[in-house]
Every structure is written in C-alpha cells, then in structure tokens.
Amino acid sequence: MNHATRRALLGAAAAVPVLRHHAFAQAAAAWPDRPIRLVVPFGAGTTTDALGRILADALAKEAGQPVVVENRAGAGGNVGAQAVAQAPGDGYTLLLGTNGTHGINSSLFPELGFDAVKDFTPIAPFVTTPTVLGVPVSLKAGSVAELIALARAKPLSFASAGNGTTGHLSQALLNLRAGLETQHVPYRNASQAITDLLAGRVDAMFYHPLGLKPHLEAGTLKALAVTSARRVTILPAVPTMQEAGVKDFVVEGRWSLYGPAGMPAEVVARLNRATNALLADPAALANLRAQGVEPVGGSPEQLAAMTRDEIAKWRPVIAAAGIRPD
C-alpha cells in the first residue's frame, strides 16, 4: 500500500465519527417528527399510570407530537424498564421510572435485564409520595412511640401490597431503626390488605396517602406518621417518622422521566424543561397534589445522583431483611 492510499484510508476513517455526529445532530434538530412513546411499567389504573398520563399531556405540548402511553407491566416494573433500556436513544421512547425500577429492584432481583444507571439517560425528577403508617382504631397505639412499645411487648403484623414494595421496605426499615421483629404479611393487592387492616386481622400497614385517606377521614383508621422528609399537603396534621422520634427514616415513592442511554442533549433539555414547567403550573400542581404526590423537579444531573443514592440506600436494608421478590 502506497502512502497516498494509506492517507486516503486514514482520512476516510477519521471522517466516519464526524459524519455520524453530523447525522445525529440533524436527527436531534428535527426531533420530534413522529409520535413519542412513554412506557409506564405498571398496569392501567395504577397511580403510575395516572401520573404518566398527566406527564404525557405536558410533553406532547412541548413536542408538538402525540405522546402515547404504553403500559408494560410485570416483575415490579422491570418488564417496561427493560423495553426502554433496549430501545434506540433517539428520544422517541421514554420511561416513567420509579424508585423501584431505578433503585430498589437493583438489590431485590438477581437478574434485572438492564443496568439502572448505565442503560438509561436521566431526564427529570418528577414527583414523590411517602407511605403512611396506618393502624386500626382498635389498636391501642396513638403514636409511633406507643406502636414501638407494643411491638416490643409482642410482635405485631404489618400488611403490604407485596414483597419489595415501598410499604414492605418501610416496615423493614422500621425494624432496622427501632430494633424490632415484626411480622410481614404480603397481599396480592393493596385493597385486600386494607380490608384486613380495617377488620383488625393485621395490626398496621405502610401505604400511600391516597389509598388510606378515605378510611382516615371516616375514622376507621389512624395515621401515626408519614415517611417523607416533610409533612404532606393532603395530611398536614400527621407527623413525619423523624418528628415521631425515629431518626434517619425517609421512604418515598418517586417517579422520574428517563430515556434509553445515549439520548441527544438537545432532546433531553427540551423534555426536562417541559417536565419542570408542568410542576411550576399552579393548576397542574393542584391536580398532582390531589393525587397524593408532591413535586420534585430538577436537572438530569440531580436525577442521576438520586438514582445512585436510591440504589445504595436500599441495598443494606434488603440484605438485612432478607427480602426476595414474590
């Protein structure tokens, strides 16, 4: 091979990344020119589904294209998350991820089928909700301190909507922080668990505010605490677990917007801007708070840090409690 031929080949090889970058930049500039898919990794009618549809409407206004919600339920959200992880990073497939898909599940499931950090582009934190520690009115505990005293006298039973849910992890964290041994009673769904809680067949339950609020208002359940860092809008009189005397106790369900790895920065910026604009709109904010959630918002970098922190937070709790998926 002569020098001229070698130089020509080297020049062509060097041009390939430049051409690829140019084509990628052109595609990002044209985005979006067709409908966008927002994968919701839980079934229709769930809280995640309701939130996904609110977010999809806001993203559609920014994009000028329909944002179609696709429910891909299964394996604690892993089925939908894996589908997005395997999709092209072109901005046409997005995920409403949770602290399950991007936190808890990394330690709960031996095989996820994806890496919650490496296989996704963080776009924007969205909203969060705590769990509420609810007990039947018949239980002789009017505070978290009294509940802990009862649990030390005899093990109490805690219902949940299944192994590895935020309710189950809240109980596991209470055991760890207060040095308790309580009995976990998993149910196939939350409604069955609440029915038994109301009847006094189980002693307590951590569950999200919207699910327990009707029973709290009816006076058939008592709320001892919420697991957020601050009190929540729809239950302003209920103290946090930390206010109730249990230190280092924050458990929140979190929903955030992710895409596949390698998304163009321009597309990420537009989607992030639309998400934060939704959270700044007073009418939208009132609607979200009526769903029992609180706004988060922030940058892609903040979401990346939240994801790493969530994974690290739950690893020792899950290991100490020996939690396994259903």
**CB burial of residue 188 (10 Å; 0-12, 13-18, 19+):** exposed
Band the pLDDT of 199: cuts 50, 70, 90: very high
pLDDT reported for residue 210: 84
CATH code of the domain made up of 132-226? 3.40.190.10
| Residue closest to 272 by CA, chosen among 122, 56, 93, 49 | 122
**Minimum mean pLDDT range among 23-27, 54-58, 63-67, 125-129:** 23-27
Distance, in Å, from the CA atom of 258 to the CA atom of 41, rounded to the nearest integer, reads 12
DSSP secondary structure, 48-103, as one string: HHHHHHHHHHHHHHHHTS-EEEEE---GGGHHHHHHHHTS-SSSSEEEEEETIIII
Domain 35-128+253-321 shares a fold with domain 132-226: yes
Pick the closest to residue 266 from 24, 83, 35 (CA basis).
Answer: 24
For range 184-192, the mean pLDDT: 89
Q: Are 41 and 101 in contact (CB under 8 A)?
A: yes
Integer Cα distance of 311 and 7 in angstroms: 49
- pLDDT at residue number 6: 61
For residues 146-167, one letter each, b for 16 or more C-beta atoms within 10 angstroms of the residue's C-beta and e for the rest, the string is ebbebbeeeebbbbbbbbbbbb
pLDDT at res. 9: 60
**What proportion of the chain, given as a percentage, has pLDDT over 70?**
91
Helix (H, G, I), strand (E, B), or coil: what is residue 23? helix
Residue 77: C-alpha distances to residues 109, 199, 276 (Å): 11, 31, 24
Q: Where residue 47 falls among pLDDT bands split at 50, 70, 90?
A: confident
Residues 6+ apart with CB under 8 A from 73: 41, 42, 43, 79, 80
**Domain residues of the chain, as ranges?**
35-128+253-321, 132-226
pLDDT at 192: 92
pLDDT number for residue 290: 83
Distance CA 85, CA 69 (A): 17
- pTM reported for the whole predicted model: 0.84
CB 310 within 8 A of CB 102: yes
CA distance 75 to 325: 8
C-alpha of 44 from chain center = 16
Phi, psi of 317 (to 5 degrees): -65, -45
Is residue 171 predicted with pLDDT exceeding 80?
yes
User: Nearest CA to 161 among 195, 130, 136, 135?
Assistant: 195
Domain 35-128+253-321: give its CATH code.
3.40.190.150
Give me the pLDDT at residue 104, please.
94
Spatial separation of the C-alpha atoms in residues 310 and 313, rounded to whole Å = 5
Give the pLDDT band (50/70/90) at residue 36. very high
CB atoms within 10 A of CB 213: 17
**pLDDT recorded at residue 76:** 87
